[in-house]
Structure 1
Amino acid sequence: MFEGNSTLLLRWNVEPKQFGPVLIGSAQGGMDIEAVASNTPKADINYIGLDGNIGCLVNGAGLAMATMDIIKLHGGTPANFLDVGGGATADQVMEAFKLITSDQNVNSILVNIFGGIMRCDVIAQGIIQAAQQLDLKIPIIVRLQGTKVEDAKALIAQSELKILTCDSLNEAAKMVVKLSDIVGLAKEASIDVKFELPI
């Protein structure tokens, strides 16, 4: 809320940097953030880097904001706003993971997808592909609801990767905050952390 003639000014950097299929710029003003906008129609990734340590991969701006809010509610701090859009492919999910993990402060990742038009099994394939190809060492918590959700859960279970699934957004948020805290403490002590399922 602003009183009187108060204004908020954000100036977008005129010299953007290329990061794969997305364009990265930065905002100047009262906060230090990086904004990433799609450079090609196939990317369709909306990303804003923040100062937290919990990576978020979500479809839909409203759901992304709600996801960030529930992380804050449980004592965590989001590292980004990332909306993969309504029709993400496995490759787009891979690109989203590359963006999230390019931030060295990220200690855990919460994937929150509601598959209406988007199929959850396609998202699961992208998550598995990212976990394998990027050799992710941080915890990934996945909350999927909607089209082909049971197929998606089966794919994740069969992958035998340390990817945790959770049906409740509230429980997923609690879990991602706790795991982020554990990884953060381990980083401070220069200790490697390996997770065994179930946690």
Structure 2
Amino acid sequence: LVNGAGLAMNTVDALADAGGRAANFLDTGGKATSETVKKSFEVILKDPRVKCIFVNIFGGLTLGDMIARGVIMAFRDLDMAVPVVVRIRGSNEKEGQQIIAESGLPLFAFDDFDEAAKKAIELANAAN
């Protein structure tokens, strides 16, 4: 789950470099809200090939705290049977990271892009 086509391509490449591959990707666009993120999770979870959700957001117009709230809404409201890795950078990143950290949910949060991609592949492989 990304916000931008360039970031999507970069994320797919990072997952491949980490030894895996993306089942798909979903671009939320530049002004994603919490509800957009939750709806995005609903779409992604319809694909049975998905073994892990990697949320990789670089915010300008997209606010990190809104993304974090959407991830938490999705985790709480949907039947989450796959692990979730979250990397939020850019606008309101600290607030978003704090929301994720304080959620008490089993989310895997990272600052480093490559570490996040590696963790997503590790979790996906463990689910096989």
**What TM-score, normalized by structure 1, do the two folds share?**
0.63
Displaced runs of 4 or more, over 3 A: none
* Code of the aligned partner of 1:160: G
How many residue pairs were aligned? 128
1:133 alignment partner in structure 2:
77
Contact 1:107 1:180 in 2 (8 A): yes
Cα offset, 1:74, TM superposition:
1.1
Question: Which residue of the other structure, out of 83, 86, 98, is the alignment partner of 2:30?
Answer: 86
Partner of 2:68: 124
Structure 1 position 151 matched with structure 2 position 99: no
| Pairing 1:71–2:15 present | yes
Counterpart position of 1:50: none
Contact kept? 1:65, 1:81, Cα under 8 Å: no
Give the residue type in structure 1 aligned to 2:38: M
Structure 2 CA distance for aligned equivalents of residues 165 and 117 of structure 1: 21
Which structure: larger Rg? 1
Tell me which protein shows more strand as a share of its residues: 1
1:19 is aligned to: none
**Alpha-carbon deviation of 1:137?**
2.3
Report the Cα distance in structure 2 between the residues aligned to 1:104 and 1:144, rounded to whole angstroms: 25
Matched-pair identity in %: 44
Code of the aligned partner of 2:70: G
Please, which runs of 5 or more residues in structure 2 have no aligned partner? none
Deviation of residue 135 (structure 1)?
2.6
Match of 1:105, SS state, is coil
Q: Determine the C-alpha separation between the residues in 2 that align with 1:179 and 1:164.
A: 10
Q: Say whether 1:179 aligns with 2:123.
A: yes
Q: State the superposition RMSD in angstroms.
A: 0.8
Question: What does residue 111 of structure 2 align with?
Answer: 167
Residue 3 of structure 2 corresponds to residue 59 of structure 1: yes
1:174 shift after superposition: 0.6
Between 1 and 2, higher relative CO (CA 8 Å, sep ≥ 6) is seen in 2
Structure 2 letter corresponding to 1:85: G
